[in-house]
Amino acid sequence: MIQMYNVTKTYSSGVEALRGINLGIKKGEFVYLVGPSGAGKTTLMRLIYRDELPTSGHVVIDGRNIERLHESRVPYLRRSVGVVFQDFRLIETKTVFNNVAFALRVVGAPSDEVNEKTHRVLEMLGLKHKANLYPSQISAGEKQRVCIARALVNDPAILVTDEPTGNLDPELATDIMRILMEINNRGTTVLMATHNMGLVEQFARRIVHLVAGKVISDQEKVPRSAD
């Protein structure tokens, strides 16, 4: 599903964010991306939804080489990659419902389908009663769930989450993790960048460890029966 071949990324400022990354993630896998701040986790994720291009090497997403992807085809790649941000990035002037529905309207889904799918995903994430509120009227945990709902509503093949529990208290963080696990169990490939080693141990999955732009370890873990 995701393949990276000898990928390096150097920003115009001269900062070398990634160095010689080789990574393969299969369909339906759940992978943690761990490492200290500045290790290159966010850059690696931005390559997946083609917010950045590699300086050298190749990134192949669901069979598409992102460097060769024409600018006009980028939106179509992004529709198959759901993205969840630590800072939520919700549109403040739209209601919860419209923030989520927007991702469907973008792909030209008919109104009936937009209503049905949006209500379904909001219900799944326990947000149905918040549908008509604006982001400023809901809590951080709810905002994170709205962000997940928006990423999921299009049934993406890949879900990329950058510190999705970073702003949340431990209880809410566990809730979000359960949701992500459930999404993964339904077949979506999930890549999650995190600092929270407690959660990584609690919900054990494959762990890719990045330090200074390099993969220093890649461990397979068997899911614990408790989760």
Partner 1 sequence: MSLFESLSFHLREALDGIKHSKVMAVATITSIALSLFVLGAFLLFLKNANLFLSRLHDQYKLVVYIKDQADTDSVTQLKRRFEGDPAVESVVYIPKEDALKLVLADLGEKDWIVKTLEKNPLPDSFELKINERADVADLVRRLQSDRAVSRVSSGQEWVAAILRAVLLVRYVGFALVFVLGFTSLLIVGNTIWVTVYARRDEVAIMRLVGATNWFVRTPFLVEGLLTGVVGAVLSFVLLVVGYRLLLGQLQTVAPGLSGFAGWPELKRLGGQLVMMGGVLGFLGSLVSLRRLSV
Choices 85-93, 171-179, 183-191, 208-216; region in contact with partner 1 by CB under 8 A: 85-93
State the minimum distance, in angstroms, from the CB of residue 126 to partner 1: 22
Whole-angstrom Cα distance, residue 134 to residue 91? Answer: 9
Q: Is 146 in the site for partner 1 (CB under 8 A)?
A: no
Q: Which residue has the tokens 């529990």?
A: 165
- Pairing mode, strands 56-61 and 2-10: antiparallel
CB-based burial, 91-124: b 16+ in 10 Å, e otherwise: eeeebbbbbbbbbbeeeebeeeebeebbbebbeb
Q: Which of 28, 102, 124, 167 binds partner 1 (CB under 8 A)?
A: 102
Element (H, E) at 182: helix 170-185
Which parts of 39-78 interact with partner 1 (CB under 8 A)? 49, 51, 72, 75-78
Here's the x/- map for partner 1, 103-142, by CB under 8 A: it reads as x-xxxxxxx-------------------------------
Q: Is 94 in the site for partner 1 (CB under 8 A)?
A: yes
DSSP 113-147: HHHHHHHHHHHHTT-GGGTTS-GGGS-HHHHHHHH
State the minimum distance, in angstroms, from the CB of residue 157 to partner 1: 13
Q: Is 155 in the site for partner 1 (CB under 8 A)?
A: no
Q: Is 91 in the site for partner 1 (CB under 8 A)?
A: yes
Q: Footprint of partner 1 on this chain (CB under 8 A)?
A: 49, 51, 72, 75-79, 83, 89-91, 93-94, 102-103, 105-111, 150, 154
